[in-house]
Amino acid sequence: MIIINGREEHGAAGRSLLSYVETEGYRFDRVAVEINGDIVPKQAYAERALADGDRVEIVHFMGGG
C-alpha cells in the first residue's frame, strides 16, 4: 500500500516520483516532497520509484506572502 497525502493511492507502485508529480496536477518546481520522513531532493525525483509501504507527503506551494 502507498499512502500519498493521507490517501491510499492505487496504481502508484513502480512509478517514479517525477512521473507521479507531473501527471497528478502538481508543478514540479512548486512542490517539496517527503517520503517516509525524509525530504527528497529534486534531482532524485526521476530515480525514486514509489514502492509498497511508502508514505508520501507532497506540499504544492501556493503563491503569496
Partner 1 sequence: MTGASTEGPSRAQLRAALAGRMGEAQVRLLEDAAIGVAGLGGLGSQIALALARSGVGHLILVDFDVVDLANLNRQAYDIADLGRPKSAALRDRIARINPYLDVRATQARLTPENAVPLFADASVVCEAFDDPVGKAMLTESLLLGRGDLAVVGASGMAGHERADTIVTRRVGRRWWVCGDETSDIGTGAPMVAPRVMACAGAQAILAIRLVLGLEQ
Q: What 8-state DSSP symbol labels residue 15?
A: -
Please state the closest distance from residue 53 (CB atom) to partner 1, in A. Answer: 17
Question: How far does the chain reach from its first CA to its final CA, in angstroms?
Answer: 36
CB of 33 to partner 1, least distance (A): 8
- CA neighbor of 62 nearest in space, from 24, 27, 17: 27
Residue with smaller CB distance to partner 1, 16 or 42: 42
Which residue's CB is nearer to partner 1, number 6 or number 11? 6
Which cell goes with 26?
502538481
Q: Which residues bind partner 1 (CB under 8 A)?
A: 27, 29-32, 34, 37, 39, 41-42, 57, 59-65
